[in-house]
Structure 1
Amino acid sequence: MSCSSDSVTHNKDDLEKNVGLTETVSRYSPPYSDISEGRTLLIICIVTSAGFLGPVAGNIYIPVLPLIQEVFKISTTTANATVSVFMAVCAVAPLFWASWADFGGRKTLYIISLLFFIVSNILLASIPANVAALFILRIIQAIGASSVMSVGAGTVADITAPKKRGRAISYFMLGPQLGPILGPLFSLIASQGNWRWIFGFLSIIGSIIYVTILFFLPETLRCLVGRGECYRGKRWIVHPRLIQKQLIEESISFPRPPKPSLKVYWKLLKFKPLLLCSINGGLLFATFYGMTITFAKILRENYKFPSWKLSVSYLCPGASLIIGSIIGGRIIDRIVSKKEEHIPESRFYLQIIGLLISMVGILGYGWCAHFNVHVAAVFVFSFLGGFGMTWVFVGNTTYLTECSTGQPATNVAIANFMRNVGAAISSVIVEKIIEKIGYGWCFTGLGLLDLIGIAFVLILMKFGPRWRRDFSSTK
């Protein structure tokens, strides 16, 4: 995008009156127009691969729990606790990583966090079996792996224009979505009792991605590198550096976010668009997680599926996440690109469709299990549940990267925390509710939570622009 300085100043003044400083900056400052399409694609591929590590580390471990229980001589409850502590840390740790990534640089956080991940896996693969060490290293593993979902979304936001961001976010989300699908398959390397190999495998792929980040991932935080002119005509190989230098002077075009603090988080949590999007994502993921944790039980008890069929069956909801993400991202960008003026809330029209699809999937899944109808119907409705959920998440995540706070990674981390809270609550109560009222009514209640999500979407469509404008004026 090019224009005269007078035109830029005139447009800037007009836009500041309407939408506030941060959003104004995004409109008259081209979002990394000096980074080539090829290099942009490389960056997205790198952060997508890094985003794969956390989910695959969580899911490769679950199938070998009986072996872990035997080797470490621990109870089922203790073995399950090693999963719970991993998930809890994955929910909380990104809140710290993301805020520092928005303030001091993306690449520094990748380098530090993934080093934790690699070292913890090397130690898990090599030290003697000790339950205390297992818990400590699983915590460190989660601290290292959990950063990339939120920080990676911030990187994608740095290098893509809003009208192309939905598709870019959908590709980035393939990493986290492939983890739950491929993790159980990769766990087969421990089928002969070699449980240490799962951690050896994680350390190997983690190290490959780490080296790629060191030498091929440039810093992208806008307050450090501006529009990326510093990369123009340069080689794609970059010099490894722990602390990223500021390559431009601080300016109104590329303001530095506030230093991370509890006060900053409290202010963000009071920002209504972020809060409503995060709660909506938490409720939606709670419904999907309820379906996920009962999926194997229904197929085993109602349809007598053997273990190998159960593993293969998870390809159905897994495929729904991938397909829903890619299709949702493309359609969102196509609709947004037709509008002359980009308004972030314009993405929410499609979220209503996604929530309705999800609700149909969850309701159908519950009543199919209740009446024990043909297994094909269970697969169809589970597919719809996952498809609708990821359709919404692509739009939600994209919106959170551009909703005026200037801290996209932190926004996504807060939403990720809400999703993990929703999953944790769902995992505790779903089985108890099913015992009392059955699958049909349980999933009817969960499916109807999507109506709350639709109400949130309608509220954001009406009041979101004003709330963003008010937030920008108080910064």
Structure 2
Amino acid sequence: MTDLSQPAVAERPVFTHVQVRSIIFGVLLAILMGALDQTIISVALPVLSAELGGFDWLAWVVSGYLVAVAVATPIYGKLGDVYGRPRVLSASIGIFLAASVLCALSTSMTMLVVARVLQGIGGGGLISISQGIIADVVSPRERGRYQGYVSGTYAVASVAGPLLGGVLTNYLSWRWVFWINIPLGVLAFLVSRRALARLAPPKVERRIDYTGAVLLSIGLTALLVGITRIGQGHAVADATNLSLFGASLLVLAMFLWQQSRAPEPILPLYLFRIPTVVLCCGILFIAFAQVVSLSVLIPLRLQMLTGSGASGAALQLVPLTLSIPLGAFIGGRTMARVGRFRPLQLMGASVVPVGIAGLALIDPQHAWFSAAMMVIIGTGIGLQFPTALVAVQSAVPRRDVGVATATAAFSRSLGAAISVAVLTAMLLSSLQSAAPQVAGALSGGELMKDLVGGALAQIGGEDRVRLVAAAAQSFSHLFKIAAAISLLSLFMAWRLPDTTLAGPAAQK
């Protein structure tokens, strides 16, 4: 019987530093393209919805992409293990570019949403396969350093995306938000194809569990669509939502049964008997959920409580956005030197609850103190990202590195999708229950719009003050809940085995 706690070491090609740098550059281009498309469209949404009509479909322009990425990610991991990651990465770039053209040529919101779903199917491969390639070319001990570059790429996308989207929309057209992918995609294809030529496809013939892939796609799609509907204001007990959740539960149960009997399962269930994999996927789920939640809550609180504009509120997020890659860089470099990930996980998981609790207790007007708390949070989360992924990759046999990497990436995507839906539903409900009597007839969504847009300015000053105080109380409660949830990461980090990673120590 194979010892799952000590996976066999397989041979890997030996690359020079120049070759590794070339491969990483191609990989980062692909990741940048996939990550950029999650943020670049945000500024263009009002303009494109006005031109194409169909405001009811507006949320699905974003959600359709995120749901498709989450569903496709674990499947791409298995495809990369079977057919070779360079080949699958090229295919996902092709799908992404074809979908980008369809998005740019869309003549209706329905066509745009369908094209965005197709784009998400390609985007799932860009992200998961690229991170698996890093595991193919560098040793476990060195991976943290390169995963820090990945986190930096995400930070660039989150900062540059809205800015680039605004420039393209204002001076050209919203369609250029999608046309810009063509030169980026062609460059990523050419660079990655040339750089990855030495990564030969696997020599062992392995079959694909197509039945499992279909069941997983259907089950996850139903689950994430139901969760997204809740975040958009539909009741949990809505008949459509109950049908979606019931179907998801049934189909995912069938998927698990299929995985237990398939010779080459899409998601090997033995992975979840490895403590490091389970714990690190849980850490990544919570960490990414916190990033997404704070990215929504912090600007929204500023706009609702201080009257800050959208651009000013977005600038307040810069400390969080920049400190995440800083923490990832520090974590990756330190892990490469000491060869251990548990101490870094404990350090990151210990400071994040402190930073979030600090945000709950301070006045949003105190910009410098808020910035300090965001730096603490971002650095802590940054320490967790690369170390958790490298821990997952090092805990499994090399033949399953792709599917393990995709499972970790899926945990991040699932955390993002669920946190957005749950956070939005909790905020709407909290606003409605905490609002003073004068605004009691308004829904949570109407209160949010009124506070941001100043539509309640005609209400007397005292009522206005009470309304703002109720909103402040709602945000404080949400931050406290987020801080409590982040304590789960500390518990999981404490349970991690203190493993020494394979590979030589990095040079200082």
TM-score, length of structure 1 as denominator length: 0.78
CA distance in 1, matches of 2:492, 2:397: 19
Structure 1 residues 381-460: aligned runs within 5 Å: 381-406=373-398, 407-431=400-424, 432-433=426-427, 434-435=430-431, 438-460=474-496
Relative distance call for 1:428 and 1:128 in structure 2 (3 A) is closer
Q: Please tell me whether the aligned partners of residues 349 and 490 of structure 2 are also in contact (alpha carbons under 8 angstroms).
A: yes
CA distance in 1, matches of 2:206, 2:284: 25
CA distance in 2, matches of 1:313, 1:143: 32
Q: Please tell me whether the aligned partners of residues 153 and 408 of structure 1 are also in contact (alpha carbons under 8 angstroms).
A: no
Structure 1 residues 64-463: aligned runs within 5 Å: 64-75=44-55, 77-125=56-104, 127-187=105-165, 188-192=167-171, 194-220=173-199, 224=200, 244=201, 246=203, 259-260=208-209, 263=259, 264=265, 265=267, 266-336=269-339, 346-368=340-362, 371-406=363-398, 407-431=400-424, 432-433=426-427, 434-435=430-431, 438-461=474-497
Aligned-pair CA distance for 1:322:
1.6
CA distance in 2, matches of 1:213, 1:24: 28
Aligned-pair CA distance for 1:320:
1.1
Q: Please tell me whether the aligned partners of residues 116 and 144 of structure 1 are also in contact (alpha carbons under 8 angstroms).
A: yes
For structure 1, the 5+ residue unaligned runs are 1-15, 225-243, 251-255, 337-345, 466-475
RMSD value over aligned CA atoms?
A: 2.5
TM-score, length of structure 2 as denominator length: 0.73
Overall identity of the aligned pairs, in %: 20
Residue deviations 1:82-140 (CA, integer Å, cap 9, x gap): 11111111111111111110122011111111001111112322x35122211111011
For structure 2, the 5+ residue unaligned runs are 213-257, 260-264, 435-472, 501-508
Amino acid at match of 2:73: P
Aligned-pair CA distance for 1:193:
6.4
Residue deviations 1:310-347 (CA, integer Å, cap 9, x gap): 343333222112211111111111111xxxxxxxxx31
Relative distance call for 1:270 and 1:374 in structure 2 (3 A) is same
Residue deviations 1:39-88 (CA, integer Å, cap 9, x gap): 0111011101111111101111111111121011112x410121111111
Aligned-pair CA distance for 1:213:
2.1
Aligned-pair CA distance for 1:22:
6.2
Question: Secondary structure, in 3 states, of the residue corresponding to 1:79?
Answer: helix
Q: Which moved more, 1:261-270 or 1:392-401?
A: 261-270
CA distance in 2, matches of 1:295, 1:319: 15
Q: Please tell me whether the aligned partners of residues 290 and 427 of structure 1 are also in contact (alpha carbons under 8 angstroms).
A: yes
Amino acid at match of 2:480: T
Amino acid at match of 1:111: S
Aligned-pair CA distance for 1:141:
0.9
Amino acid at match of 2:293: G
Residue deviations 1:436-468 (CA, integer Å, cap 9, x gap): 562223212211222221221222227x89xxx
Relative distance call for 1:293 and 1:308 in structure 2 (3 A) is closer
Question: Secondary structure, in 3 states, of the residue corresponding to 1:424?
Answer: helix
Residue matched to 2:461: none
Q: Please tell me whether the aligned partners of residues 149 and 176 of structure 1 are also in contact (alpha carbons under 8 angstroms).
A: no
Asked if residue 59 in structure 1 is aligned to residue 39 in structure 2, the reply is yes
CA distance in 1, matches of 2:206, 2:361: 48
CA distance in 1, matches of 2:161, 2:364: 29
Q: Please tell me whether the aligned partners of residues 73 and 125 of structure 2 are also in contact (alpha carbons under 8 angstroms).
A: yes
CA distance in 1, matches of 2:31, 2:387: 18
Amino acid at match of 2:85: R
Aligned-pair CA distance for 1:36:
0.8
Q: Which moved more, 1:282-291 or 1:428-437?
A: 428-437
CA distance in 2, matches of 1:288, 1:161: 28
Question: Secondary structure, in 3 states, of the residue corresponding to 1:283?
Answer: helix
Q: Please tell me whether the aligned partners of residues 284 and 449 of structure 1 are also in contact (alpha carbons under 8 angstroms).
A: no
CA distance in 2, matches of 1:117, 1:325: 27
Asked if residue 35 in structure 1 is aligned to residue 15 in structure 2, the reply is yes
CA distance in 1, matches of 2:126, 2:294: 26
Q: Please tell me whether the aligned partners of residues 94 and 150 of structure 1 are also in contact (alpha carbons under 8 angstroms).
A: yes
CA distance in 2, matches of 1:456, 1:258: 35
Paired positions, count: 401
Amino acid at match of 2:24: I
Question: Secondary structure, in 3 states, of the residue corresponding to 2:308?
Answer: coil
Aligned-pair CA distance for 1:309:
2.4
CA distance in 1, matches of 2:172, 2:32: 25
Aligned-pair CA distance for 1:385:
1.6
Residue matched to 1:235: none
Q: Please tell me whether the aligned partners of residues 43 and 217 of structure 1 are also in contact (alpha carbons under 8 angstroms).
A: yes
Q: Please tell me whether the aligned partners of residues 287 and 362 of structure 1 are also in contact (alpha carbons under 8 angstroms).
A: no
Residue matched to 2:253: none
Q: Which moved more, 1:411-420 or 1:303-312?
A: 303-312
Aligned-pair CA distance for 1:177:
3.2
Amino acid at match of 2:351: I
CA distance in 2, matches of 1:425, 1:35: 40
Residue matched to 2:222: none
